[in-house]
Amino acid sequence: MIGFFCFGKNAQVPAGFAAGLYEGENVCDIGLGMKPELTGLGLGAAFMKRGMEFAVKHYAPSQLRLSIAAFNKRAIRLYEKMGFQEVGSFPSKETVFLVMNVEL
């Protein structure tokens, strides 16, 4: 196993609801994680692309949305390369999360 994806409510951080950042029609939330030993090897874009393709095929959204810890700069750079843009942020416990969307 190299990583995982989750979709819909399973991909949302509960504190994002209070911030009103999980609103919208025809949006599919996507969550993911890659095996730590495989990060930084240039595999992220292909991994992310497969997850995005799965979401489009099975959920047919007009947007994909993800929440990412603000300290995870490497992942944020990848998501920006994949077309995601920051649309908001919220605190959860001791971590700030960014919410990022991409139009399909």
Give the pTM: 0.94
Q: What is the pLDDT of residues 12-26, one digit of tens each?
A: 999 999 899 999 999
pLDDT on residue 76 = 97
Per-position DSSP letters for 2-47, written without gaps between them: -EEEEEGGGGS-THHHHTT-S--SSEEEEEEEE-GGGTTSS-HHHH
CA pair distance 22, 11, nearest whole angstrom: 11
Q: Which residues contact 76 (CB under 8 A, 6 or more apart)?
A: 68, 70, 98, 100
pLDDT > 90: percent of the chain? 96
